[in-house]
Amino acid sequence: MDGSYAAKPMLASKVDVANDGKTFTFALRHGVKFHNGKEMTSADVQASFERYRRISPNAAVLADVESFEAPDPFTFIIHLKKTNAVFLDVLKSPVYPFVILPAEQKDKPAREVEIIGTGPFKLGEWRKDSHLIIEKFDGYVADEGGKPADGLVGRKTVNVSSVRYRFMPEANARIAALQTGEADIISNVPRDLAGRIEGRPDLQVNRILACQQYFIVNTQQPPTDSVQMRQAIRAAVGVDDMIGAISRPAKRSHSMTIPGGEYYGGDINNGFYDQKNPKLAGELAKQAGYKPDHKLKLMTTATYPEFRDAILVLSEQLKEAGIASDVQMVDWATNASNMQTGNGGWNISSTSFCSNPNLGPQQWKFMVYNFPHVKNDAELDAAYDKFYTSLALDDRKTAWRVIEKRVLEQAYMIKIADIGVIQALNRKRLPDFRDFYINRFWNISLK
């Protein structure tokens, strides 16, 4: 994945895609070393893909694979049963990454593999709740033929001996650590505390706007199984108060794509955003047969204050529209699990998506269907089918616009804002650090 989130080869020197979009041939780089010193070959790649297909929660994306093939040690071929125009983009998923592991690891169950990769850093020490140390991997073979480092690909040189991540849940403690020099770089600074750092010339604050926050509406749980009720909720939402409440950098945007992205569709689906119309909300709720004694259940978590705060604001806005609600606090693991299973009797929850809006519609699909528990929506199914089978980008863009409209119009998801994270670093110590949606510690020097 490069700096503009496009899929690019890293362990392969090139990829050939057949004209029918069904066969993908990867020419693997020679001499790539695993952290255990072994050279990577196509057998490792095949084993890793087979393992992914068997145990990854995201295994469904490989459902159309007919076969894997490794004709020689440095060639790997994937055959699909049917055309998938965006298969390479599927492979760039950072949420369930396609990691190449040594073939011996292929039978290990989920979460029990040894951490042996091919990257410029190897695992040093990991103490849960305390710290993670990654060390420079001396056997790393840089992609000499590749372009200069760009995003996550290209030539990487490591100039530091190790990087130590410390897990500090308290924002005050993180900021203090940066101020006293205990830390060189810290992440997730609450928006309202950035001022403490901004005054100091040696420290720098980066605002990285790479995520989008939504309300997810459960289509299987009454009364939000009714489309009017969902639209009533959408009509009640005023995003400015939410942007004001969440302690994150945030920007108004109606779109499910970050502006500037390949699939960004301009203002076309603007009408569903920030309606701020409690009167309309009340009427729609009435049409849906809503009775005030039926309280909506808003599920959220304190782990992510921005989700909690958005839900608290929503609860007040619903109250204004005459819709009663109860806030249910759970830990994030329960929240995420309930969101996926539909358990817990929740009507609305809030979450943010950090890769999907950047990576494209193929990464969205799972969330779009799974979180609101969309069932029997022929229009959405057809649009996604068209998206996957269209080899021309313009046709895929058209399909995505239909998908986006359907999701927002049916109020499966209600967009709140594009949100970001604030990172702060010591500019004197890290003069050539460049921010990206994830931190990169290659090609930087430590002063």
Residue ranges binding other proteins (CB under 8 A): 55, 57-60, 95-96, 110-112, 127-131, 166-173, 175-177, 179-180, 182, 190, 192-193, 195-196, 240-241, 244-245, 247, 302-303, 305, 308-309, 312-313, 315-316, 327-331, 333-334, 336-337, 340-341, 343, 366, 370
Q: CB-wise, 157 or 341, nearer to other proteins?
A: 341
**341's tokens:** 């299973």
Q: CB-wise, 332 or 436, nearer to other proteins?
A: 332
Strand-pair category, 296-301 with 348-353: parallel
In total, the chain counts a number of residues equal to: 447
381: three-class secondary structure by DSSP: helix
Residue 63 dihedral angles phi and psi, to the nearest 5°: -60, -30
Chain-centroid distance of CA 212 in Å reads: 9
Nearest C-alpha neighbor of 361 from the set 403, 325, 419? 403
Q: How far is the CB of 150 from other proteins (least distance, A)?
A: 29
Q: CB-wise, 156 or 308, nearer to other proteins?
A: 308
Q: CB-wise, 168 or 217, nearer to other proteins?
A: 168
Side chain identity at residue 408, one-letter code: L
Q: CB-wise, 6 or 123, nearer to other proteins?
A: 123
Q: CB-wise, 330 or 348, nearer to other proteins?
A: 330
Q: How far is the CB of 334 from other proteins (least distance, A)?
A: 6
Q: CB-wise, 60 or 268, nearer to other proteins?
A: 60
| DSSP states of 84-123 | -TTHHHHTT-SSS------GGGTTSPTT-S-----SSEEE
Query: Interior CA angle at 169 toward 168 and 171, to 5°?
Result: 90
Q: How far is the CB of 17 from other proteins (least distance, A)?
A: 27
Q: How far is the CB of 14 from other proteins (least distance, A)?
A: 32
Q: How far is the CB of 287 from other proteins (least distance, A)?
A: 28
Local structure of residue 326 (DSSP, 8 states): E
Residues whose CB falls within 8 Å of the CB of residue 294, separated by 6 or more in sequence, listed in order: 223, 324
Q: How far is the CB of 298 from other proteins (least distance, A)?
A: 10
Q: How far is the CB of 290 from other proteins (least distance, A)?
A: 21
Q: How far is the CB of 98 from other proteins (least distance, A)?
A: 16
For residue 234, CA distances in Å to 182, 238, 415 come to 45, 9, 9
Paired residues of 24 in beta bridges: 17, 78
Surface-to-core class of residue 113, CB atoms within 10 Å of its CB (0-12 exposed, 13-18 middle, 19+ buried): middle
Angle between helices 305-320 and 278-287 (to 10 degrees): 80
Q: How far is the CB of 34 from other proteins (least distance, A)?
A: 21
Q: How far is the CB of 422 from other proteins (least distance, A)?
A: 12
Q: How far is the CB of 339 from other proteins (least distance, A)?
A: 9
Q: CB-wise, 183 or 425, nearer to other proteins?
A: 183
Paired residues of 27 in beta bridges: 14, 75
Q: CB-wise, 19 or 180, nearer to other proteins?
A: 180
Nearest 10 degrees: CA dihedral of 91, 94, 98, 99? 150
Residue 132 dihedral angles phi and psi, to the nearest 5°: -130, 130
**Residue 320: its H or E element:** helix 305-320
Q: CB-wise, 75 or 334, nearer to other proteins?
A: 334
Q: Is 126 left (phi over 0), alpha (psi -120 to 50) or beta?
A: beta
Q: CB-wise, 228 or 335, nearer to other proteins?
A: 335
How many other C-beta atoms can be found within 10 angstroms of the C-beta atom of residue 292? Answer: 9
Tell me how far apart the alpha carbons of residues 334 and 328 are, in angstroms, rounded to a whole number. 11
